[in-house]
Amino acid sequence: MSQRATRLLHLLDELRRRRKPVRGAQLADRLGVSLRTVYRDIDALRGQGADIVGDPGIGYQLRAGFLLPPMMFSAEELEALVLGARWVASHADPELAVAAGAALERMTGVLPEGLRLQVETSGLFAPQWHAAEPEPWLPALRRAIRAGNAVRIHYRDGEGRASERVIWPFAMAFLAEIRLLVAWCEMRGDFRHFRADRMVWLEDTGQRYPEQRHRLLRRWNQECLQRGPR
């Protein structure tokens, strides 16, 4: 990536982080360039389709919805995207694996020739050496998390004890050997962690649980990370 393209990428990143207009002088100071360069780069980004509102002396703001041009990825960012997609393709459930492959193909298809060759010949791989049978519940759990729906499950813990409960799933961790679901358990009135491979049966109730997912995530971070999973 050229020095100018890198500079434009950093300017976009600065604008994307801001929720309020930022003055050109502040951008110049953050990026270590002249104010004139900031004005010229903003004009260049506008020419590429970035919806940047504002004027000198007032401030600039990037409106939501701008899609980053593919040539604006750095070499490290491309490697991260390729490795991430390949990891999902070999470690996630079949539906997510197919989606990862399709996303990588779509991204590769719009890259300039040089960057496309860099992706296609990437030496970064994420093979699953000990292939395990994917848990059949993962697609349903991912959809429930996405929709914010309560789920009824039959679960068997590590000591073989069975239980039936209604949970509010809001996060899932893809660990090396297991998939760990994070949820609010109505029966316990507390956060609980469930291994997907110990679920005997589940049903998406189709009913949204009463709390927003981001609030559950915040509470879980505050209350549970210090005491560890239970």
**Cβ distance 191 to 180 under 8 Å?**
no
* Mean predicted confidence (pLDDT) in 111-128: 83
Residue 129 pLDDT exceeds 90:
no
Radius of gyration of the chain (CA): 23
Q: How does pLDDT run across 20-73, given as a tens digit for each residue?
A: 899 999 999 999 999 999 999 999 988 888 889 999 888 999 987 665 554 567
Q: What is the CATH number of the domain that holds 52?
A: 1.10.10.10
Residue 142 pLDDT exceeds 90:
yes
146 and 219 in a single domain? The answer is yes
Query: How many helices (H) and strands (E) are present in the chain, helices listed first?
Result: 8, 7
42 and 96 in a single domain? The answer is no
14 and 51 in a single domain? The answer is yes
55 and 85 in a single domain? The answer is no
147 and 82 in a single domain? The answer is no
Q: Is residue 131 part of a domain?
A: no
Burial of 155 (0-12, 13-18, 19+ CB in 10 A): buried
Q: What is the CATH number of the domain that holds 199?
A: 2.30.30
* Mean predicted confidence (pLDDT) in 172-178: 88
Residue 120 pLDDT exceeds 80:
yes
| 70 DSSP assignment | G
95 and 150 in a single domain? The answer is no
145 and 218 in a single domain? The answer is yes
How far is the C-alpha of 128 from the C-alpha of 131, rounded, in Å? 6
Q: How does pLDDT run across 75-116, given as a tens digit for each residue?
A: 888 899 999 999 998 888 899 999 998 888 877 876 777 778
Angle, helices 94-110/75-91, rounded to nearest 10 degrees: 150
Q: Which pLDDT belongs to residue 230?
A: 52
How far is the C-alpha of 5 from the C-alpha of 125, rounded, in Å? 28
Q: Is residue 129 part of a domain?
A: no
Q: Is residue 130 part of a domain?
A: no
Question: In angstroms, how far is CA 152 from the centroid of its own chain?
Answer: 26
Could you tell me which residues come within 8 angstroms of residue 94 by beta carbon, excluding any fewer than 6 positions away? 134
172 and 116 in a single domain? The answer is no
Structural domain of 114: 73-120
Q: Is residue 204 part of a domain?
A: yes
* Range of weakest confidence among 82-91, 131-140, 141-150: 131-140
In degrees and rounded to multiples of 5, residue 111 shows phi and psi of -75, 150
Indicate the average pLDDT of the chain.
Answer: 87
Domain count, the chain: 3
Q: Is residue 126 part of a domain?
A: no
Domain boundary among 67, 85, 112: 67
Could you tell me which residues come within 8 angstroms of residue 152 by beta carbon, excluding any fewer than 6 positions away? 164, 165, 166, 202, 203, 205
148 and 169 in a single domain? The answer is yes
Could you tell me which residues come within 8 angstroms of residue 130 by beta carbon, excluding any fewer than 6 positions away? none
148 and 216 in a single domain? The answer is yes
57 and 88 in a single domain? The answer is no
Residue 1 pLDDT exceeds 60:
no
pTM strictly above 0.75: no
